[in-house]
A and B are shown apart, each in its own frame.
Chain A
Amino acid sequence: MTKHILASSLLLLTWALAPLGAQAPAGKEELKLKLPKPMFIGTPTNIRSPNLEKVTGKPRGPVYVPKGTTLLSLNEAVTSSDDFPVIGELDMITDGEKSGGDGFFVELGPGTQWVQVDLGASRALHAILAWHYHTQARVYRDVVVQVSDDPAFKKGVTTVFNNDHDNSSKLGAGKDKEYIEVAEGKLFEPNGAKGRYVRFYSSGNTTNDLNHYVEVEVYGLPK
């Protein structure tokens, strides 16, 4: 009985005080906004052709690296958080083929996933490129690129790029910008960071919840 009385009193109090929360401060009044309504319009076009140029603007300028820098990742071993890709094989990620059509990309499961390239030995790295999926204008979420000599990435980790600005992948909040996938790939600048392993994270994209890789390239000094 006491509980009922208490509950009823609380309800009454809440009801009585509710208008106070909506009251304007002294000398002020709520601005009544007249906002335009959406226009009713028919079915949009089903876009199939890429419109990357319109979205992305200018091509990337030249990339300068120390003399002797070479492609270290070609045909090197790739591992992943998803051992059984939905589509494709992991070795397609370092096979040198960058066309994004059927049969040239790997599809990993939903949520945060990573792929990791083993360069065989620790090297000073000067350019890293990644192509997630570039036959469509997409933004991949929570792109994080890290370098380490530890295959488990528990110690000695250098973060080269991180655009997970709300820390939703729990790798630490990043300050880098999101970007739209393009045919020329995304350049990450490791600035000489050393490591044997390079790990690429992502967490879905603006079209679906899955993760894709057409190719990654890691450039550095061979010794």
Chain B
Amino acid sequence: MTRGGAGALVAIALVTGLALRVARLDVRPMHHDEANQAVKFAALLERGEYRYDARDHHGPTLYYLSVPAALLRGQTTLASLDERTLRGVTAAFGAAAILLLPLLTPAIGRTAVAAAAWLLALSPAMVFYSRMFIQESMFVCFTLAFAIALGRLARGGGSGWAAIAGAAAGLAAATKETAALVLPAALAACAIAWWTSPRDGVASKSPWPRPAFTGVATAAAVAALFYSSFLTEPAGLLDPFRAAATYLDRGLAPESHVQPWHYYLGLLAYSSSDGVWWSEGVVLALALAGAAAAFRPPAASRPGRAFWVRYLAGYAVITLATFSAIRYKTPWNLLPFYAGIIVLAGIGVSTLVHAARSRALRAALAAALAIGGLHLGWQAWRASVTYAADPRNPYAYAQTVPDAVRMASRIRDLAAHHPARALMQVSVIAPPHEQWPLPWYLRTMPHVGYWSRPDDALALQAPVIVAAMPFTDELDAVLDGRYISEFYGVRPEVLLTLYIERGLWDRFLADVTGNAAAAQ
């Protein structure tokens, strides 16, 4: 493949990947985690308040790196923020990961890089989670950058690569606690590949302590900046160490999100629900072809390739094995190792292309790859738009349903018929897990209170009350027919009851039925 051809293919993949990641970003209701993080981000945006929470919500980069996007769009408060701003940040990092792949061209060749760029651009999992305001796409970007820089360093790169690897490691560590798994996995894979590959005289130009020091110092400095909230909270430097116990406990003895070891592979290979099926099996199959290349005797003309193929295969396998061994599993955690698998699949494409000797065979391979790519792209669109919040979508996990957005819209419509308007009191009486994402959707209403039990008179004086189902018997008795009620879904299997004061409901109904009659 020519340099121009490969460049064009990567550029088109980047544009396609970006388009899939930013199109209709507001179509999926805000997930519980997204809403949590959006409200935390708003505290940073509005008041400059941020302190790492060692019990949850991962690292600070998502919040700090979202500030420029919000300012660019002229949004400085929680009320003014929108889904496009927040998800635009993670979508940009999702696309940026594609831009890193050309750095591998000297290592694995243009065909492999172009193929990997397309697979990364079209992968439904990569696209879906890049469109969520969570840490994953940033984490993939930083860990992939670290893996590439580490390999370049091992293959004779200068201290510049050490600094890049350090910066990427620092950013990864300040993004998600699972950096403690992914970064050592990359180091181990690199060491194994280095020892098992033939020596060709190419090695790091400096003695190893110097780049190691550069990398570690850069990583520590970058991570420290973020964890100390840019040196304003020096005590925050210890928080990642406090968090270690939390995450160790969650990984080894989780109370929820427990899945079997094959959960991630099964999710990627094939899943089906109520007549809708999904598969990224083509990527897994191509990755197997790529992994097979790691065991072939290295070509005399390209000794460095043996190192890279073994390194990337080892990185994919070690990270996959590590994440699969941990009992706590959420589907977005597959992204870091899946990025490695996708690069390996790119190598698989290159291996197959070079193995196909006849023109007819190459044409058949190109056609099969095109069909596989189209299928991935179609699934990415279907997962991100058509079935974005549907429980049949395997990537949608504990996803808010559109009904929750309707409930918030109903509450705002009701407020428009209340004398206090947007200042109307709304009481949400539900366990914390059932309260979200309402704080996001009711962010323009300042008098929304949240209780986890229905035993506070202040909560029961509101004209609009949102209640968890277990509290409805108690509330029905207390509210004594003064309220009408409606059901709304917040997530699959999780319903909430909306209580509306009769007078307010009558005014609202008279208005909507009057308008409907006038329209007829």
Contacts and interface: CB of A to CB of B under 8 A. Distances in A.
A36 B428 CA distance: 10
B32 A167 contact: no
Contact of A50 (B330, B484, B493): B493
Nearest to B509: A166
B397 A46 contact: yes
Contacts of A51: 493
Q: Indicate the member of B428, B489, B492, B493 with the most A CB atoms within 10 Å.
A: B493
B200 interface: no
Nearest to B404: A206
A209 B390 CA distance: 10
A136 B495 CA distance: 11
Interface string A116-141: 00000000000000000000111100
Contacts of B451: 36
B318 interface: no
Q: Indicate the member of A38, A40, A51, A167 with the most B CB atoms within 10 Å.
A: A38
B464 to A, nearest CB: 13
Interface residues of B, number: 57
A37 interface: yes
A188 to B, nearest CB: 18
A41 B391 CA distance: 22
Interface in B401-421: 401-403
Interface stretch (B120-128, B153-161, B220-228, B429-437): B429-437
Contacts of B273: 102
Contact of B398 (A35, A44, A180): A44
B450 A36 contact: yes
B33 interface: yes
A170 B57 CA distance: 45
Contacts of B8: none
A40 B516 contact: no
B449 A43 contact: no
A2 interface: no
A211 to B, nearest CB: 14
A137 B57 CA distance: 29
Interface in A163-179: 165-167, 170, 173, 178
Nearest 10 pairs of A and B residues by beta carbon:
A35-B449, A206-B489, A47-B493, A139-B487, A46-B398, A39-B432, A38-B450, A44-B433, A42-B56, A41-B432
Given A37-B450, A45-B256, 12 more contacts: A33-B458, A38-B436, A41-B436, A44-B494, A51-B493, A105-B274, A136-B492, A173-B509, A180-B495, A206-B401, A206-B487, A208-B401
19 contacts: A33-B458, A35-B447, A35-B448, A38-B436, A38-B438, A39-B450, A40-B53, A40-B56, A41-B433, A42-B55, A44-B436, A47-B398, A48-B492, A50-B493, A55-B469, A137-B493, A166-B512, A167-B516, A208-B391
